[in-house]
Every structure is written in C-alpha cells, then in structure tokens.
Amino acid sequence: MIVRSRAPLRLSFCGGGTDVPPYPEERGGVVLSTTINKYAFASLVPQAGADLKVTSLDYDTIAKYHLEDGLVYDGELDLVKAAVHRLNPERQGLDLFIHTDAPPGSGLGSSSAMAVALVGAFQRWRRLPVMAYDVAELAYRIERVDLGIKGGMQDQYAATFGGFNFIEFRGDDVIVNPLRIEPSLLDELEYRLLLCYTGKTRLSAHILDRQINAYVGKHGEVVRALDAMKDLAIQMKNALLLGRLDAFGELLDVAWGHKKKLDAQISNDQIDELYELARKNGALGGKILGAGGGGYLLLYCQFDRKHKVAEALERIGGQVVDFGFDLRGLQTWEVNGR
C-alpha cells in the first residue's frame, strides 16, 4: 500500500504579518488568501523494521535513518524528521517520497504546504480521527514549535482548507471563513491575475525577526502598517464578495505600500523595477508574496494589457508562471503498487 497526499500552495492577498505572534495575541490578525494548483506532495510506504528512507524528488537525494537511534534536527530534511517524530511514535519503518511545485523561499507557503501534506499522509495511513483544524494545528506545531521556524499561522490553514478564505487569528484561536464567490467572478479574477517569479528565493527568517522586533519595540511605522493591512484585508474581502475586482486590484497596490514599511528588505531594486514596469504596462496593483525579498510577484492587470505586462516583465528577466485556483485543499488517497 502507498499513501499519497497533496497540499496546495497559496497566494496571500493581504494581512500577512498580522498572523505572526505576538501581533495576533495582542491585536487580532486577519489574512485574505486563496490556494492554487501548485502543490506539495508526499508519498508514504510502510516497511518492516525501523528504518526511514526519505527521497527528495526535487533534489534527487536519498537519506536513510534508523529510527531506534533517534532523529537529529541538523538542517537536513528536518521537516520530515519532525513529522515522523510526532506521528510515528511506534517507529515503524517507512519510505517517504516528497516534492513540491515551488522551492522553499518562493513566497507561496511551500514549506508549510509540505508540513500539511506530511500530516495528511500520516493521518490517512494511521486512520487518525482528526478534523481539518487539527491537521493545520499539527502542521503549525511541527513547523513553528518543534523546529522553531519563524513565521505566521496562515499557511498551514490555507493549505489544509483550500480555496478563498478570510482567516481570523484571535490569540490561540484560528477561525477559517470560506468565501462564497460567484464562479464567474473567480474565472475573471484568475484571468486578470499574473504570477511572475523573480528568479530568486529568499530566507524569510531574518526579515521576520526584524519585523517582530520592530513590533515588540512598538516601532510606530510598523505597528501602523500592520493595522492598515488588517483593515485593507477586510476591504479586499468585501470587494471580492461584491464583485468589485478593479477595486480589489487597486487595494493590492495600497497594501503593497504598507507591506514595504514592515522591513527595508521586503523589496529591493529588482522587485521595484519589476513592479513599476508592470504598473506602467497595465497592472492596477500587486505585491511580492510571502515575507518578501524575492520569490513570486503577484499582479492584477487590466484584461487587455495583461499580455503586455507579461512581455515587459520577461524582457527584464521575470518568469511568468501559469496557474489556476485550487478550491479543494488537502487531498489524500491510497494506491496499490507504484
């Protein structure tokens, strides 16, 4: 038996940063996001004995461990090790195969999606009676608590639930509000959005460290920017529900201006050049995804100028990527044979 799982990557439209502690505990955070048809995949094959073999299909590498010896977090496949430690207490032998459609540091929440995919695979294998909120919470604890990886709470919930969600963070409580948007509006929004890879990934931990320290130190500009992004997330949610897509695109531009105030390295000369070129050629708004510094640039375009925006970005090194929305979230299944 082989257990497979996939968890979608996400586009965070607004509110990212308000889900990063201690902001949500003190002021309450909100994030507006959706998931796309780019995924993190995990395949689990139970084996006799107590050996763990992990194959990363992205990097064409294989690592082997003996579970009786314990698993050391040393920077090599730590996410997998933490999932195995939490969800395989009997230390049964396993073969695990993992891969993602986007690299870590791309701003699409790929690491958290992988954590969700791993939890989903173990849930299916062990028949764990857990709900979607439990899956997301487990993935969050594996990533943020067990491994101490800096970041917020939105990615694990987005990958688990899938679709368009307005997610509220109130202290320790997370509430996922699915948005009921007309299918024709979703088609139009998908048609208008453009996703461009900057060609560079980034390590978000340093940016987040500075952002957290600035908030804890009550740096006025950072606190005001986070508060403004929370308010804008609500406005953008309302614009989507009311079908005001151009207003949604223009609010993306306003939100990007506030996001850049969280840390000086969220943007850089390359990102600024790409964004300004996109705006000149017909983008109404956009933002860099994730913590910033690299990864993917999301843009909302005038429908008859989107091709011009894409051509302009590709002329200076941007890589336009096709995508569609995923409305299903985490999926798991079983197969016989490989």
| Catalytic residue positions, numbered | 155
Beta strand segments in the chain, E: 2-14, 29-47, 51-56, 61-66, 93-100, 165-170, 173-178, 193-197, 283-288, 296-301, 319-321, 325-326, 331-335
Q: Identify whether 183 is preceded by a cis peptide bond (ω within 30 of 0).
A: no
Please give the DSSP secondary-structure letter assigned to residue 289: -
Cβ partners under 8 Å of residue 7, min gap 6 = 39, 40, 113, 114, 116, 117, 120, 159, 160, 329, 330, 331
Contact at 8 Å (CB) between 121 and 111?
Answer: no
Cβ partners under 8 Å of residue 116, min gap 6 = 7, 40, 135, 136, 139, 156, 159, 160, 330
Contact at 8 Å (CB) between 222 and 262?
Answer: yes
